[in-house]
Copies of this chain bind each other. A is one copy, B any other.
C-alpha cells in the first residue's frame, strides 16, 4: 500500500473525510513551502464546520477522546501536505510536530495525548514519519479546541 492509500484507510477508520475543503480560521495560509520543507499551520480537530473535541483535557475531555482529537489534527495536517506535495509518498521525514493540549491545571499526560498523533503519523507514513515532538499544556486554544497541532514535513 502507498502512504496515500494508508491515509485513506486511516480516514475511513476514524469515520471522517479529509478530501473536501478544509476550513481555516484567519488571514493565513494552511501550508507554505520553503525549499523542501512544508510548514503546516496549527490544526484543531475540526471536520467540516464542527470542532469535534472542545474543552479542557482532564476535565471535560478524557484521555481517549484527546488522543482521537490529536489524530484528527494530524490527519488535517497530512491532508495539507498531500495537497502541497501531490502525494504523501513524497514525504522523507517530519522534522517536528508540536502538540498543544488545552488541559486542566493538574493534567500531566500531554505525551500520551500527543501519541494519538504520533501513532497516526507512523501508521500512515511508516519510517518516513519519523518525527521530533514537543507537547505542552496550554490554557486555551482557538474555538475552545482540546488539541492543536502543527508540523514541518520534508518532501522530495
Contacts and interface: CB of A to CB of B under 8 A. Distances in A.
Interface of A: 25-37, 39-42, 93-98, 100, 102-103, 105-112, 114-115, 118-119, 122, 130-144, 148, 150, 152, 154
A112 B36 CA distance: 30
A135 B143 CA distance: 11
Nearest to A109: B142
A107 B141 CA distance: 8
| Copies, count | 3
Nearest to A31: B132
Given A26-B112, A111-B25, A148-B136, A32 B96 contact: yes
A135 B144 CA distance: 12
A111 B26 contact: yes
Given A39-B96, A137-B139, A28 B132 contact: yes
A118 to B, nearest CB: 4
